[in-house]
Amino acid sequence: MTQVGVFTVGKPKYRCVENRIFNSIKEILSKNEFENIVYDENQEGLDVIYVFTNESAINRMIKMFLFNKVLMDHKIVTKEILFQKNLPGIFSVDNNEKILREFLNVNLNSDLVLYKISDMGINSLTEIDLVKIKKPT
């Protein structure tokens, strides 16, 4: 299953480091994964980067950000995204909302919706959850 990794990174001191990071991300991710990166900024002005990829690529990105001395924080938020729990506002923006919908369409299934009901209650269900529960996969 596709994982969702979120990285909080500082601004590199030099433009060449920024270019190296950009090129490394392009090498680590597939073309489609690269095009589906969601960028945000936190209150401190740090970049927040959401990637939809596999665990191996997430680990490679962690190492790359550490090597370039810009990684401030990272975590896997797959469950939160699948459960659509406390979604950042950035996912309500046009293209980012489309990326989220595509991820949910591929990765959400009736078992996960049942687990969501158990974890968060029946009132937590969204439109896509209802579709997935009616068409078990």
Which class does domain 1-76 fall in?
alpha beta
pTM: 0.92
Using DSSP's 3-state secondary structure scheme, residue 83 falls into coil
In sequence order, which ranges of 13-93 are alpha helices (DSSP H)?
15-28, 31-35, 55-67, 78-82
Contacts of 12 (CB under 8 A, 6+ apart): 18, 21, 68, 70
Task: Write out the H or E segment, with its range, that includes residue 133.
Answer: helix 127-134
Task: For CA atoms 116, 122, 125, 129, give the dihedral sign.
Answer: positive
pLDDT of residue 1: 85
Burial 62-78 (b: 16+ CB within 10 A, else e): eebbeebebbeebeebb
Give every residue of the chain whose pLDDT is below 50, as ranges. Answer: none
